[in-house]
Structure 1
Amino acid sequence: MRNPCVDAGLIQPLVQLLNCRDQEVLLQTGRALGNICYDSHEGRNAVDHAGGAQIVVGHLRSRCTVTDPANQKLMTVFCGMLMNYSNENDSLQAQLVNMGVIPTLVKLLGIHGHNSALTEMCLVAFGNLAELESSKEQFASTNIAEELVKLFKKQTEHEKKEMIFEVLAPLAENDIIKFQLVEAGLVECLLEIVHHTVNSDKDDEVAELKTASDLLVLLLLGDESMQKLFDGGKGSVFQRVISWLPSHNHQLQLAGALAIANFARNDGNCIHMVDNGIVQKLMDLLDRHVGDGNVTVQHAALSALRNLAIPVVNKAKMLSVGVADEVLKFLQSEMPPVQFKLLGTLRMLIDAQAEAAEQLGKNVKLVERLVEWCDAKDHAGVMGESNRLLSALIRHSKSKDVIRSIVHSGGIKYFVTMATSEHVIMQNEALVALGLIAALELGTAEKDLENAKLIQVLHRLLSDERSAPEIKYNSMVLICAVMASEPLHKEVQNLAFLEVVSKLCGHENKTVAQQALLTEQRLAVES
């Protein structure tokens, strides 16, 4: 019956009735409009054109402090009407936000917190609006965090807690609100839930444990809220999170590892955690999930180890307790997210660690797996990380044995492809690795470099005006290095390199211009 009501022109007179002073008439009008808007595009449009939402928001604003039961019932109906009006409609939600409905709804929640029907309607209305970016800024300027935490503390029913969670999750994506929620004491509520539900096998309590621990991890994504909870490593929340790692509950293990990964977002925290033995706890957790273990836990623990390995002082410490060996246990994983984190962790660990890079570079199983993943076209992240780790093994070890191991496994062609990447950092890493190969083991790699069309790629990089200065510089260094190989030298002569290099002698970057002069002399002598 909704569309016939709209077609009959009923909306306009109903909206006019919203200007009436009789409370009972307002109540029934609000119900009628709310029902016509329910799941009806035409109904919402008609109410929009008649200006109904503005009048209802005006009533909410002017009446929100009146606490008699009849007014609370009216406020509940009006909130429900606005919810139906804006449900799953971004532009109408944005319109309500622009009308300033959010501060009014927050005020309603604060004043009428004891009225369960009205608070429920407010929560559903918040849930409707909280996904919008523009709404989050408006929410952040109210005391929503305080009101929601206050309401949350009073709840005993699972359904009510769920409703509040559904509002908290989208709001907690905003860093300012994250901090407000931490200040308002939400974390203590969440830890309390975890404590009470951790050993339960009731479905609703298992769901509550998951939601509470996920939300805690989300709060740690804000730098300010994370630092407050870390509190120099003395924070009770940080201590509690560590105690989750040895738990038998997979959800808690996961939340613990993700929380550590979030705490490990600055060098100071990472150094403190490594010095206080967190690495061993993460390794023990990983060890429990080798093989067919829980993939999300594997991924989270590897994320935490990767972040911890970023500060220079942590690398040697982590290597000395066997992190690389622990990570290698997951080499056979077929799960791309785990592969991606495994590669990133190893790459962070060997940065400027020559001995570790050499050891890993001589590990035939690892090198063969990397070469295989360099072809993982379905998973760009895994493919990129494999290329970068392969190149890092050469760059940090500068070892002939490592180069030979990579040549024998068929890895050379991937460096040449990597040199054409759209990311300058990857291009550069490839060219530096190729430079070392040409300087240390040119004879071994000669055939593969020829087959991979290295010389043509270098010609393209030098001719392309968009190539970054460091790419031009390293390409020319490489040209000079490969001249020692007869077949490659011949290819250089066949392509007009002299012309391209001569143009670069006047390059605005001094280092490039200098290298161009040297390369030009070398080409002139050799031609």
Structure 2
Amino acid sequence: MAEPEEYSEAVALLENLQLSTTQEDLLPSLDAVLSFLQKFSGEDLDSHTHGFVECGILNELYKNLTQGTGDLQLKVVMVLAELAKSESVRKACVDKGFVPLLLNMLKSTEDITLATQICRALGNICYEHDEGREAIDDENGLPVLLDLMRSHLKNEDPAASRLRLTACGYLLNVTNTNDKMLEKALTEGALDLLEQYVWQHRGDREMCNMALLAIGSFVDTDLCQHKLQSSTLCSTIVSLLDTKLADCYENMILELFISLSEIDDLKDILADTNLSSHLIRIIQSNTGRLDDGSQQTIKMASDLLVLLLTGDKSMEVMFSKGEGLVFVETVKWLESDSAHLQLSAALAIGNFARRDEHCQKLVEQGIVEKLLNVIRAQSNPEGDITLQHAVLSALRNLAIPVSNKSVLLKAGVIDVVLCLMPSETMAVVFKLLGVLRMLIDNQEPAAVQLGKNREFVTRLVEWCDVDEHAGVKGEATRLLASLIKNSHSADVMRNVVKADGIEHLVAMTVSEHVVMQNEALVALTLIVSAVLEDVAMALKQSDLTESITSILQKEETIPEIICNTLKLTKIICSAATPPTNQMIPCSILACAGLLSDMQSTLKEDIATSGIASLTEKLTNHQDDKVKEAASSLLTTIQILTTER
């Protein structure tokens, strides 16, 4: 409760109001209250309005509003609007019954000034106040407001401009963050009405900004997003950027479209406008300015461009066969002094590179060297990891088309991106691994070069063990398998064995992802075909037998995986057994010094593990290739058992 000295003046003003019995006396008393309230804001206003309410001012206002006419009603509503700016007063206004009273007045009055103040009072009562909104809804107040807005859409009376602005603010307050009121307003045609306001009054900065704010309150709703797809509102908003007041609308429009650009269908709609050229103009006009406002505008405009590029149609429109304004400008940004523009450029190029023909065009235009220059500049410990991530994403996409791989390899992409190998940022590592995996696909010399790099293979195996980032762990293991598959090099295979990478390939054979299972099985098959003597110990220690058993006994395992598993098993079982006196060093069993005939031990495990019975069942599989592979392996196991 406010202390007496804090509101003694309020008490005196209220007493004077209570003693006033005629309209002539009431008007100056209300003016005095109004002037007093207008001196305060924030917490000061709260404390003083609280004093007024405690002393019963709402009773006086209600009495004079119901009994008075003309100027007296107007003045009462003005005081009420001022009081309702205070959060603590809004519920009391609802409880006193002002909402239905004000709405009835709004329906019947033809006085623009009174209507303006009623909208102001109601807007303040429901500002961040759901009880106020519910009270308005109980009286079906939204249609009353929208009808008022329609009736004054083209009113040229100077006072109508203020009414339109205030009514838009009231609409914003009564709907904002309230799903029920938002949906009702949309159903009643609020979106179309706001578009008409924007178009009709595009030369009125305050009016358009308020309308844009109101539109912004609707855009997160499903109903609004649905309606936008069949309306011309987006085009109308973009048209504001063609007016003399474009600078005044820019940030509001950027914020609004950033929200809308998450919706795929709306990206296509925006692609059909000249929004992208406006965004380029906005960025160009603010480039070189170092003030926070200009930098923020550049960030918003470039962010919006990148968001638009995530849509297929909008990306195609802006690429325009490599000649589009957006494409040409974003390429220039790679050499910008602005880190954010460099980032936007890399993200844009990554989006353009979602289609193979674009990738080829980009590479032909020399984009790779520009991206590598950014990587070189950012490869130090203080490098911008967000920029590193974006450039690597672009390079990965560019490396997908077969025709581009040799060009990227010749440009030295592998050596440049490997400078990021020390990175501890897993998002960067994930993209680095993706670039390398794309580059070495069907590129044997590159796979051999990378696989013979002992430092890299060691680091790669470490990444295979990163449990906190499943993406890095999966991508690292896939790259490990890819090195073996694409190099066909025994030296690379031995590097993988020495780096303890086999256990990760074995674990990958039981992955939930079929593609990864297959990649692991192919890699292991190549390894045991070429260097079984080097890998036998690692395969045994990695529980390969258990993995094979797990794959073969699952009914849901697809035929391709079964066949590749059977093939791998057969190669191990078919391998020539070394002489019994051959000894294989084993660092793990150093206490024993040497371990004999690990290949034979591995084959023995397979022969006694139950794999034979699983294989026998598979000879009756419905898939002919599985039957054939199972029969072949079963014969080999039987021979192996006989030899024992």
For the superposition of Structure 1 and Structure 2, which TM-score range results when normalised by the shorter chain?
over 0.9
Change (3 A) 1:194 1:491: same
Q: Deviations over 1:1-26 (max 9, x none)?
A: 22233344544444455543535454
Q: Write out aligned runs for 1:58-73 (5 A).
A: 58-61=147-150, 63-73=152-162
Residue 511 of structure 1 and its aligned partner are, at CA, apart by 2.7
Q: Deviations over 1:476-526 (max 9, x none)?
A: 222212324322222223322233223333434333333233233333333
Deviates more, 1:479-488 or 1:21-30: 21-30
Q: Write out aligned runs for 1:211-226 (5 A).
A: 211-226=300-315
Deviates more, 1:463-472 or 1:427-436: 463-472
CA–CA distance in structure 2, aligned partners of residues 488 and 242 of structure 1:
56
Partner of 1:307: 397
Q: Write out aligned runs for 1:2-151 (5 A).
A: 2-24=90-112, 26-61=115-150, 63-151=152-240
1:340 aligned onto 2:430: yes
1:201 aligned onto 2:315: no
Note if contact 1:20-1:26 (Cα within 8 Å) is conserved in structure 2.
no
Q: Write out aligned runs for 1:117-266 (5 A).
A: 117-154=206-243, 160-266=249-355
Deviates more, 1:401-410 or 1:250-259: 250-259
Change (3 A) 1:156 1:100: closer
Residue 95 of structure 1 and its aligned partner are, at CA, apart by 4.1
Note if contact 1:67-1:112 (Cα within 8 Å) is conserved in structure 2.
no
CA–CA distance in structure 2, aligned partners of residues 265 and 165 of structure 1:
25
1:494 aligned onto 2:608: yes
Residue 61 of structure 1 and its aligned partner are, at CA, apart by 4.7
Note if contact 2:437-2:482 (Cα within 8 Å) is conserved in structure 1.
yes
Deviates more, 1:156-165 or 1:334-343: 156-165
Deviates more, 1:182-191 or 1:371-380: 182-191
Change (3 A) 1:159 1:411: farther
**Corresponding residue SS for 1:306:** helix
Gaps of 5+ in 2: 1-88, 576-598
Q: Deviations over 1:158-213 (max 9, x none)?
A: 66422121111112223443343343222222212222222221111111111111
CA–CA distance in structure 1, aligned partners of residues 107 and 191 of structure 2:
22
Amino acid at match of 2:467: K
Residue 91 of structure 1 and its aligned partner are, at CA, apart by 4.6
Amino acid at match of 2:403: V
Note if contact 1:290-1:330 (Cα within 8 Å) is conserved in structure 2.
yes
Note if contact 2:205-2:249 (Cα within 8 Å) is conserved in structure 1.
no
Change (3 A) 1:362 1:9: same
Residue 94 of structure 1 and its aligned partner are, at CA, apart by 3.9
Partner of 2:640: 526
Change (3 A) 1:103 1:157: closer
Partner of 1:320: 410
Partner of residue 444 from structure 1, selected from 525, 530, 534: 534
Note if contact 1:15-1:51 (Cα within 8 Å) is conserved in structure 2.
no
Partner of 1:357: 447
Deviates more, 1:251-260 or 1:342-351: 251-260
Amino acid at match of 1:200: R
* Matched-pair identity in %: 39
Partner of 2:621: 507
1:479 aligned onto 2:569: yes
Residue 63 of structure 1 and its aligned partner are, at CA, apart by 4.8
Deviates more, 1:144-153 or 1:427-436: 144-153
Change (3 A) 1:340 1:95: farther
CA–CA distance in structure 2, aligned partners of residues 62 and 487 of structure 1:
92
CA–CA distance in structure 2, aligned partners of residues 30 and 469 of structure 1:
72
CA–CA distance in structure 1, aligned partners of residues 278 and 145 of structure 2:
35
Gaps of 5+ in 1: none
Change (3 A) 1:397 1:191: same
Partner of 2:25: none
CA–CA distance in structure 2, aligned partners of residues 10 and 521 of structure 1:
93
- TM-score, normalised to structure 1, is 0.93
RMSD between superposed Cα atoms in Å = 2.3
Q: Deviations over 1:243-276 (max 9, x none)?
A: 1112222122111111111111100010111122
Note if contact 2:545-2:605 (Cα within 8 Å) is conserved in structure 1.
yes
Deviates more, 1:168-177 or 1:265-274: 168-177
CA–CA distance in structure 1, aligned partners of residues 154 and 639 of structure 2:
91
CA–CA distance in structure 2, aligned partners of residues 11 and 506 of structure 1:
80
1:517 aligned onto 2:631: yes
Q: Deviations over 1:371-407 (max 9, x none)?
A: 1111211222111111111111111112111111011
CA–CA distance in structure 2, aligned partners of residues 296 and 97 of structure 1:
39
1:385 aligned onto 2:475: yes
Larger CA Rg, structure 1 vs 2: 2
CA–CA distance in structure 2, aligned partners of residues 213 and 412 of structure 1:
45
**Corresponding residue SS for 1:118:** helix
| Paired residue total | 527
Higher relative contact order (CA 8 A, sep 6+): 1
**Corresponding residue SS for 1:329:** helix
Change (3 A) 1:276 1:117: closer
Change (3 A) 1:415 1:117: same
